[in-house]
Chain A
Amino acid sequence: MTWFLKLYPPRWRRRYGAELADLVAAQPFSIGAAVDLVAGAIDAWLNPQLAPPTSETKGNVMSIARVMQLKCAGYGPAVTPEDKARNVRVNLGGTLVLAATYLAMVWIWKRNQLTGDDYLLSLAPMTYLIPYLIGLRYTSLKGRSSRAQTIFIVGFSIVLTVFMLAVTWVATKI
């Protein structure tokens, strides 16, 4: 079950990884613990909570730089009102555009009586989720590299899409 620790952000792993690995190793595998670890990893990415530097690390330029970077990563003082407004624009605009696209696809597919409409319907929530994930660039993911942001947004979008299609596939089989 220690594999799940790889889902946590590197900085978080450096601080708590060894302790968490010991705790995980001391417990038998359970679905509940696995889900808890995945939820904890998502939380650690979205809300990195790391202690400010102690007296031992004061003067350590690398440590200070890391803390500054973390402060810029969440809903900290670096998130301006303009950033929040952009976040809202991306959410609302993206949802409207994708919802219209989705409705057009449903109209075309239903009219031609194509199969697969169940799968199409299962993707309806993505019209909101994709703009929401993109909006994180201006809040929770702010300060991360463009590469990290892209990997998170595209990766999470793919995971959610596959998950919804998989659930639909299962639903059609039972």
Chain B
Amino acid sequence: MTRRPDADDIEDFGRFSEPALLILVSLAEGPKHGYAITEDIAVFADVRFGPGSLYGAIARLEARRLIEPLASEDRRNPYRLTARGETVLKARLASMAAVTRIGQRRLARA
């Protein structure tokens, strides 16, 4: 199955693809700063990314305008999902869900 190429896809983030996807999922719940994102991902995905990986992914997502920083009085800048980010996340999750369904169906038949 070939996925439709998308200019906003996060697949070409290389090793930052996985943290980028999980950051988008985390921000789908609401705005969070870096530390809160790390803790949230550790809870729902059981993965703890290092600070370099997390901000490498955040920088890429922000450069693509998939997330955006919110004004903050302290040093912690919260980020939120943009409309474009929401679209990309929905498309990515739908694609993953389709693969999951096919995989489970094939396993059930085996």
Q: Inside 8 A of A26's CB, which chain B residues have their CB?
A: 35
Question: Is there contact, CB below 8 Å, between A19 and B76?
Answer: yes
**Cα distance A18–B49 in the bound complex, in angstroms:** 18
Chain A stretch 8-22: residues in CB contact (< 8 A) with chain B = 12, 15-16, 18-22
Known: A19-B33, A23-B38. A50 touches B63 (CB 8 A): yes
Count how many chain A residues have C-beta atoms less than 8 Å from C-beta atoms of the other chain: 27
Q: Specify which of B50, B58, B59, B76 is in contact with A22 (CB 8 Å cutoff).
A: B76
Q: Inside 8 A of A27's CB, which chain B residues have their CB?
A: 51
Question: Is there contact, CB below 8 Å, between A49 and B56?
Answer: yes
Among B55, B60, B77, chain A packs the most CB atoms within 10 A around the CB of B55
- B25 near A: Cβ within 8 Å? no
The 8 closest A-B pairs by CB, nearest first: A40-B52, A36-B50, A49-B59, A18-B75, A36-B52, A51-B62, A37-B52, A49-B63
List residues of chain B with CB under 8 Å of any chain A CB.
33-35, 38, 49-56, 58-60, 62-63, 65, 68, 75-77
25 pairs across A/B with beta carbons < 8 Å? A12-B59, A16-B55, A16-B59, A19-B55, A19-B76, A22-B76, A23-B34, A23-B38, A23-B51, A23-B55, A26-B35, A27-B51, A33-B50, A35-B50, A36-B49, A37-B50, A38-B52, A39-B52, A40-B50, A40-B56, A41-B52, A44-B59, A49-B62, A51-B62, A52-B65
